[in-house]
Structure 1
Amino acid sequence: MKNIYLLFGICLAAFLLNMALIKLAVDLPEFFTSHLNDLLCMPIVLSICLFIIRSFSRNKGIKISLFSACSLAALYSIYFELYLPDNSTRYTSDVIDVILYFSGAITFWLVQGMEAGRKSSAIKKAA
């Protein structure tokens, strides 16, 4: 579980720092102003979802499946890259953002899997 908390903390800190620098009008490369938050979005949202699920579940080892993580990335992609650009001048559609949503979701899933792998290897060593 520590890996997920670490990923969440790093992503949240990077997001907050990025937003502060943007608000302070610091001259940043385009990746930071246009794409970094899309990469950080899924690990943050999925970590919060996992925390809530584990809070209400008796099974504290429950995991978010790859299908669920990618489904959430697909929903974010549809909403932010298809729906909002047609209904708001503030948003633009960008295929790179879709790739970054899925990259963030897969990164979360991989980190979560490393966490589960460490637990199972510790159980095998104890036996």
Structure 2
Amino acid sequence: MVHPKRLAWLAQRVKNKADATFNKICVGVKTVTAQINPNPIIIIGNQKSGATAIAALLADMAGISVTLDLRKEIGNPTYHLVVRGILPLAEFIERNKLAFSAKIIKEPNLTLLYDRLPEYFPGSKFV
């Protein structure tokens, strides 16, 4: 007979795995259907400057979507490839199109691409 605590632990583990799988599927569907916002508000700057808090508060108060970090760039960053001219900016944005679909985009590493972003987002505001 299985101990009740062991059974509860196992049930919770199965639930956590199911939730994680469901979340991955949802993100995948959102990524496929996402449309890049042609005029986002782009917040750039140094890490640890409070930009995340500012972007989150602005989005919350205005009731608009926000990207606080480019999630795909966390595990496998490609910023350096764009900076070095190996990866075109358009491909970088397409790779991160779910993140670039938000009205506010906060990403400190975009500071490295500041000179090229207005070409792709000519109607955007940069903060």
Q: TM-score, with normalisation over the residues of structure 1?
A: 0.28
| Bigger strand share | 2
Q: Identify the structure with bigger relative contact order (alpha carbons < 8 Å, sequence gap 6+).
A: 2
TM-score by length of 2: 0.28
